[in-house]
A and B are shown apart, each in its own frame.
Chain A
């Protein structure tokens, strides 16, 4: 079967036990759709490799010594690309897995499972789905619905929910200290449009001016300080 290079799933393999890493690489390369483009056991090198190779999937095999794990994920998310992360772990603890998902893991495969499960997980996660234990997904849904239910009574929540995506972008840039013209340049808009967005934002958030908006944005995580 011929697989074109665009169909190949490019994988970077992170595992600090070289023997297991080599075994995983052999397993993955036995599959026609997978290409292991880089592999390492060193965290510093992992950052460089992910930035350089821009893989589709980063496969993190967590060992018992805990050196390589989901904690590395925030550093691997670069401006240039965002690969999807799959964690191979022996830890069945739901709380642990939940934390891993919050850090950006889209798939969790238990190390006791059959290699075919891993292959399936890679394909699903590559296609934009998640590969998680059913109980974990149920827990997330419960948690999120509870959050929504509580949020309905919070006036800030309903105000923020009224903002459009573009308005959120404008708020974020205001919070970074940009002037209207700079925001317009960055979003490829005219300055007048930015002013219209700001008027709408002030109305929706019930703030009087730019200073109040900045304070509101920092308080409600709509903007991050530049340093």
Chain B
């Protein structure tokens, strides 16, 4: 059987530009036992419509999460003058990483510059 070679080209289909980053963040929400939690996290990427954070606590699918981060490696509580942003969003997806942490995709509902 003759096979046709197809050239796959990666095309950015996202409507909003996404910034890859590695900034400390603080996440607050409810875990799978419906118990409130607040934990340190790492922001992996962000666009105007959503963001991806890495932390350990398992959370409820579709649950509401509050993320606080600063555009700086000093973190939200650091003294940097970089924008400090609070985001309120809903958990869209999660996946386990090999180190026992989880990546969470959050759809932004509201954001506020503090």
Contact = CB atoms under 8 A, between A and B. Distances in A.
A92 interface: no
B72 A215 contact: no
B16 A227 contact: no
A207 interface: yes
Interface in B73-89: 74, 80-85, 87
B101 interface: no
Contacts of B111: 209-211
B44 interface: no
Contacts of B46: 215
Given A177-B113, A218-B19, A225-B72, A209 B83 contact: no
A215 B17 contact: yes
B47 interface: yes
Contacts of B108: 211
Nearest to A211: B111
B19 A219 contact: yes
Given A176-B82, A211-B111, A212-B16, A225 B48 contact: no
A215 B14 CA distance: 14
A163 B61 CA distance: 42
Interface of A: 174-177, 179, 207-212, 214-216, 218-219, 225-227
Interface of B: 16-19, 46-48, 71-72, 74, 80-85, 87, 108, 111, 113
17 contacts: A177-B113, A207-B48, A208-B48, A209-B111, A210-B111, A210-B113, A211-B108, A211-B111, A212-B16, A215-B18, A215-B19, A215-B46, A216-B17, A219-B19, A226-B82, A227-B74, A227-B80
